[in-house]
A and B are shown apart, each in its own frame.
Chain A
């Protein structure tokens, strides 16, 4: 499969504002909490296969917690 760019979320820098999830044109970012990580949800690709690599999430993020990374289609 051709290489494509996927977002990688820096959960430490993230302020849980969900702008990435909202601006994603295919709604493939889910905001999820994890046990022991407090009540403020963090973004996760859901599912990664739906991502079209458009970078809208990175564009939206106010605190630069989204980096677009080269990956192969398996990521």
Chain B
């Protein structure tokens, strides 16, 4: 019985053109699972410390999960892994679609690319091997045009299988630090600047057309788990979408937090997609508004009506399911007559509430433009919000602003700035690499950098330095997603302590309640159904344990290749640990699997530390922590005790001050890896 991995990875050196299949020992899978864990192991052991993330020594990995293609559900996610040019530490980005099984059908558990090609190339992999082909004619095309061209060319050459394509757009080509890698007509591995890494290598695309069977130890047992889950999913009649908004009002007003049920969340996702949360989040205090300074009072019902889930759904032609996903939260629609993916919650809020805009059509257009350019909608939205705040404060030089209408609520201004960012022209050149770079360029010492290619703000006008630093909302260089830690402090904690900072996909009070780990893991705290809201702001051994279990679990999930939304149904209902056993033939306890998750998490941390990241310095921007606290609206008066929460997390996971202790490394079997690098 072969476990659900191929035991081989494809390595490509774009500098020399050398392509090899390398074997990976079983022990690596047993210890690091696969997916994110395999990526972390490879990069940690193969990439020299201090490598330029956009240089030839940098390695970019494409990793599906251990369970991908095993007959399991939710296992169509892949990740791009690298040293992040955005944060300087560990970088990863997660994406669905069809690429994950496509990598495995080529016979590999990962594709790792290093070196820099002299001219643009794409990598084509099929059953009989891999080849680099000239992509000069594709350079400059947007990501979706690139995909269409490559699929057509593959078919014209006699290929019967429609290949999966991952491509960068112009943003990745110009090494925008907030660019991503695009697949499946507009899905994107958006975070950590992974697109810039691909662009720096002049690798325009991957074309994967393998049709090899994917191994699995006991496929029938895996499928029995899948079927049992599918049958257990309970459906809920959903109220009219307008009432979801009132649900948000109620959640804001209640003195308690509730522990939510994943079936309910799944019903919202399957019916409405992530947009189901749009207005609920605005009212609840989950969605940051007006660049994190506003409240629902600045974005009242008459504005948020524009982003009602029903309005988004009206534009959807059909649901979209990533490979092997039963939920199908995605949706296909048309923009300018061309099929594309609908904007997700994060995108909608980053381009509406964050900017106080209420123009849904503009959101659809900007989403499509960003998916084509291959740029992260969260980071780009945050950058536009920062620009608007500075323009409104009068600290952006008039000359730089030109005729840009940068005002709260001006979708036209936002759209115009976005176009400039993608083209790296004028003020767009200042904001094209995210908020931290923009603040540096606008700061007193950064006046020259602002003059990066194309017109940039001149020295005239008041110095925007301090205002720019304050308006740049990020953690460790990565823009925060659309979930306010003043509503759920777990978002700040993980945005700070995760080796890839600034992300919203690791943990929080809300997620932990849905993971239901206490049903499988001895000692995992079980949160009460109702809990006083101020409890979420208290640090203590229970909350620290829950936070560490969350990052263990998500690291494990990312090793296995599952979607975060699958985890929210609950590990027990998903029969997640049982499925791992069935697919691998291993017989391990949930606690043992979670320890593998911790090993992955700790190795990612070692990577960031090796690159010089100082954990204590990775702190989300003050306004996202409620420093000073808001005076009105949801979350008023609240501030996040980040230092205490981080201390609790570090103590529980065994990383004093963010540095894994020798005892922790010994327990996880990482001691011999530490310090080793660059073979």
Instruction: Please determine whether B161 and A27 come into contact, CB atoms closer than 8 angstroms.
Output: yes
Min Cβ gap A70→B in Å is 22
Contact A17 B69 (CB under 8 A): no
Asked if B161 and A16 sit within 8 Å, CB to CB, the answer is no
A64 part of interface (Cβ distance < 8 Å): yes
Chain A, range 1-48, C-beta contacts under 8 Å to B:
15-19, 22-27, 33, 39-41
Contact A63-B323, Cβ < 8 Å, known A26-B161, A27-B160, A39-B318: no
Chain B residue at smallest Cβ distance from A25: B211
For B164, the closest partner residue in chain A by CB is A22
Residue from A16, A39, A56 within 8 A of B326 (CB atoms): A16
Interface residues of B in 189-232 (CB under 8 A from A): 211, 213, 219, 222-223, 226-227, 230
Q: Counting CB contacts under 8 A, is B72 at the interface?
A: yes
The smallest C-beta distance from A10 to any residue of chain B, in angstroms, reads 12
Whether the pair B319, A40 counts as a contact (CB closer than 8 A) is: yes
Cβ 8 A contact of A27, one of B162, B321, B326:
B162
A contacts with B, residue count (CB < 8 A)? 23
- Cα A41 to Cα B105 with chains together (Å): 23
Q: Report B150 CB to chain A, min CB distance, Å.
A: 15
Q: Does B331 contact A (CB under 8 A)?
A: yes
- A39 to B161, Cβ gap below 8 A? no
**Which residues of B sit under 8 angstroms from A22, Cβ to Cβ?**
76, 98, 101-102, 323
Which B residues touch A56, using CB under 8 A? 211, 213
In the docked arrangement, what's the CA distance between A24 and B325, Å? 17
A27 vs B101: C-alpha distance in the bound complex, in angstroms? 14
A19-B324, A27-B161, A39-B319 known; A62 and B331 CB under 8 Å? Answer: no
Residue of B nearest to A52 (CB): B160
In chain A between 44 and 75, which residues have their CB closer than 8 angstroms to a CB of chain B? 50, 56, 59-64
Chain B residue contacts of A64, Cβ below 8 A: 223, 227
Complex: how many Å from CA A39 to CA B271?
A: 9
Task: Kindly state whether residue B316 has any CB partner on chain A within 8 Å.
Answer: yes
B71 x A17 contact (CB < 8 A): no
- Return chain B residues, CB-CB under 8 Å to A15: 73, 230, 326
CA distance A39 to B315 in the complex (A): 12
Cβ of B248 < 8 Å from any Cβ of A?
no
Q: B397: CB under 8 A from chain A?
A: no
Residues of B within 8 A of A16 (CB): 319, 321, 326, 328
Contacts between the two chains (Cβ within 8 Å), count = 82
Chain B residues near A62 (CB, 8 Å)? 71-73, 222-223, 226-227, 230, 324, 326
Chain A neighbourhood of B219, CB < 8 A: 59
In this complex, the member of A19, A62, A64 whose beta carbon has the largest number of chain B beta carbons within 10 angstroms is A62
Q: Please state if A60 and B160 are interface contacts (CB–CB under 8 Å).
A: no
Given contacts A17-B324, A18-B323, A23-B211, 17 further A-B contacts (CB under 8 A): A15-B73, A15-B326, A16-B328, A19-B76, A22-B98, A22-B101, A23-B69, A27-B160, A27-B162, A39-B316, A40-B270, A40-B328, A56-B213, A59-B71, A62-B71, A62-B72, A62-B227
9 tightest A-B contacts by CB? A25-B211, A15-B326, A62-B226, A39-B319, A27-B162, A26-B160, A19-B324, A40-B319, A33-B318
Bound complex: CA A23 to CA B98 (Å): 10
Sample of 5 A–B contacts (CB below 8 Å): A19-B101, A39-B319, A39-B328, A59-B219, A64-B223
Report yes or no: A63 in contact with B227, Cβ–Cβ below 8 A: yes
Min Cβ gap B214→A in Å is 8
Least CB distance, B157 to chain A, in whole angstroms: 14
Chain A residues with Cβ below 8 Å from B316 are 39
Q: Which residues of A contact B270 (CB under 8 A)?
A: 40
List the B side residues contacting A26 at CB < 8 Å: 160-161
Which among A40, A60, A63 is the interface contact of B321 at CB below 8 angstroms? A40
Closest to B326 in A: A15
**Smallest CB-CB separation from A41: which chain B residue?**
B318
Q: Which residues of A contact B211 (CB under 8 A)?
A: 23, 25, 56
Known A26-B160, A27-B161, A39-B331; judge A17-B326 contact (CB<8 A).
yes
Is A23 a contact of B72 with CB atoms below 8 Å? Answer: no
Compute how far the CA of A59 lies from the CA of B215 in the bound complex, rounded to whole angstroms.
11
In B211-263, the 8 Å CB interface with A consists of 211, 213, 219, 222-223, 226-227, 230
Residues of chain A within 8 A of B160, CB atoms compared: 25-27, 50
The CA of A26 and the CA of B155, in the complex, are separated in Å by: 11
A61 pairs with B71, CB closer than 8 A: yes
The CA-CA distance from A34 to B374 in the complex, in Å, is: 32
| Known contacts A40-B328, A63-B230; A18 and B223 CB within 8 A of each other | no
Which chain B residues border A50 with CB–CB below 8 Å?
Answer: 160
Q: Chain B contacts of A41 at CB under 8 A?
A: 318-319, 321
Q: Which of A24, A40, A56 lies at the interface centre, i.e. has the most chain B CB atoms within 10 A of its CB?
A: A40
Q: How far is the CA of A40 from the CA of B211 in the complex (A)?
A: 26
Complex Cα–Cα for A50 and B71 (A): 24
Chain B residue nearest to A62 (CB atoms) is B226
Q: How far is the CB of A64 from chain B (nearest CB, A)?
A: 6
Report the bound CA distance from A41 to B321 in whole Å: 9
Query: CA A10 – CA B626 in complex, angstroms?
Result: 53
Residues of chain A with a CB closer than 8 A to B331's CB: 39
The smallest C-beta distance from B275 to any residue of chain A, in angstroms, reads 13
**Would you give the shortest CB distance from A28 to chain B, in whole angstroms?**
8
CA distance A59 to B214 in the complex (A): 10
- Nearest-neighbour CB distance to chain B for A37, whole angstroms, equals 10
Distance between A22 CB and nearest chain B CB, rounded to angstroms = 5
Residues of B with C-beta under 8 A to A61: 71, 223
Q: Are A63 and B161 in contact (CB under 8 A)?
A: no
Are A23 and B162 interface neighbours, CB within 8 A?
Answer: no
Q: Mark B41-83, 1 if CB is under 8 A from A, else 0.
A: 0000000000000000000000000000101110010000000
What chain A residues lie within 8 Å of B76 (beta carbons)?
19, 22
Given A25-B161, A62-B72, residue A19 in contact with residue B323 (CB < 8 A):
yes
Complex alpha-carbon distance, A62 and B223, angstroms: 5
Closest to B226 in A: A62
Contact between chains at A59 and B328 (CB < 8 Å): no
Nearest A residue to B72 by beta-carbon distance? A62
Residues of B369-422 whose CB lies within 8 A of A: none
B73 to chain A: which residues have CB within 8 Å? 15, 17, 62
Most buried by B among A19, A40, A56: A19
How many Å lie between the Cα of A19 and that of B324 in the bound state? 5
